[in-house]
Amino acid sequence: MGLRRFDNKVVLITGAATGIGRATALRLAAEGATLILADRNLAGAQAACAEATERFGVRADAIAYDAADTASARDMVDTAIALHGCLDSLINNAGIYRRDHFARQTGDEWALVFRLNLESVFHVVQQALPTLIASRGNVVSTASTAGVDGIAYAAAYAASKAGIIAMTKSLATEYAPKGVRFNAICPGRVRTEIGTGLLPIDDQDPAISVRPSKLLGKIETGEPEDIAGAFAYLASDDASYVSGSVLVVDGAQTVG
Ligand SMILES: NC(=O)c1ccc[n+]([C@@H]2O[C@H](COP(=O)([O-])OP(=O)(O)OC[C@H]3O[C@@H](n4cnc5c(N)ncnc54)[C@H](O)[C@@H]3O)[C@@H](O)[C@H]2O)c1
């Protein structure tokens, strides 16, 4: 029998309809988690719930959630708590990626990326804090290697993910006395819809290349499942002494 670190644990995952969020949901389901999967793509979240229940016998509920909408963040958390009375882990994973020459980016695009990738996390975490304090729970947020190293043609995205990292470390300090852990994961390039958006754009400077994963050799991207295990670890009691950490999961893409 495999690990059962999430038996009797309630986990809310945003951006769980596809990609890394969905793979993480299924990984946690395999370990017994009760899931609430939130996404603006409700049909996708429902399909992920159905798969989790069918394959692993866990309870999984889908919630419509729009990260661009503050009220939606509050409703999502309130609905999750109403369903189960508590929340043990919150995984902030919903995000968007915009890629263009910096000179062509508009203030509206910059603001949108920040609203969806960073400000939304502020609203969700703030709403979830009372129940997380009560459960001595934890938060894992999806940042990016771009938030550590930057990435050409996506300054807004990189800055929003750097914000996730700074928020994570700040809250890890502020809420340590209350027993709530905060950690972030920095995936490298992963084969998802967002990962596809990392491919070159028109007029891209040829001197700026996409760095392949050194672990995978010629294959240029990791798979969502390669990231899911890191979420499972940080959200579990195996990481009970880990808070304020930023875990890079990129197949050695950004080192060396
Ligand atoms: N794929 C990569 O290479 C990569 C690398 C580093 C970080 N990330 C991060 O991983 C996270 C997941 O992305 P992914 O790669 O799995 O891509 P993805 O496009 O498959 O997943 C993104 C999910 O977020 C949801 N979403 C988008 N906008 C939303 C909104 N306004 N409200 C609610 N949900 C919304 C989408 O419906 C989707 O389910 C993102 O935060 C992304 O920035 C991805």
Residue 1 lies in a domain: no
Ligand 1 atom nearest to CA at 116 = 31
Task: Classify 13 as helix, strand or coil.
Answer: strand
158-192 burial: b if 16+ Cβ within 10 Å, else e: bbbbbbbbebbbebbeebeeeebbbbbbbbbbbbb
Residue 169 lies in a domain: yes
Has residue 18 got a pLDDT over 90?
yes
Ligand 1 atom nearest to CA at 146 = 6
Here the CATH number for the domain that contains residue 109 is 3.40.50.720
Residue 255 lies in a domain: no
Residue 4 lies in a domain: no
Residue 120 lies in a domain: yes
CA of 65 to the centre of ligand 1 (A): 13
Residues with CB under 6 A from ligand 1: 15, 17-21, 39-41, 44, 65-68, 93-97, 116, 142, 144, 187, 189-190, 192-195, 198, 224
pLDDT in tens, 19-36: 999 999 999 999 999 999
**C-beta neighbour count of 246 within 10 angstroms:** 17
pTM, to two decimals:
0.97
Q: Total structural domains in the chain?
A: 1
Q: What is the mean pLDDT of the segment spanning 236-243?
A: 98
pLDDT of residue 195: 84
CA of 184 to the centre of ligand 1 (A): 15
**Which of 97, 77, 79 is closest to 137 using CA atoms?**
77
Structure tokens at 115: 């609203």
Ligand 1 atom nearest to CA at 65 = 33
pLDDT in tens, 69-124: 999 999 999 999 999 999 999 999 999 999 999 999 999 999 999 999 999 999 99
pLDDT in tens, 163-221: 999 999 999 999 999 999 999 999 999 999 888 766 667 788 877 877 777 887 655 68
CA of 192 to the centre of ligand 1 (A): 8
CA of 61 to the centre of ligand 1 (A): 19
Residue 256 lies in a domain: no
Rounded to whole angstroms, the Cα distance separating 114 from 156 reads: 7
Residue 65 lies in a domain: yes
Nearest 5°: CA angle at 85, between 79 and 90? Answer: 65
Residue 5 lies in a domain: no
Active site residues: 157
* Residue 139, domain extent: 10-249
Q: If you take atom 36 of ligand 1, which residue's CA is the nearest one?
A: 15
**C-beta neighbour count of 75 within 10 angstroms:** 17
Ligand 1 atom nearest to CA at 161 = 43
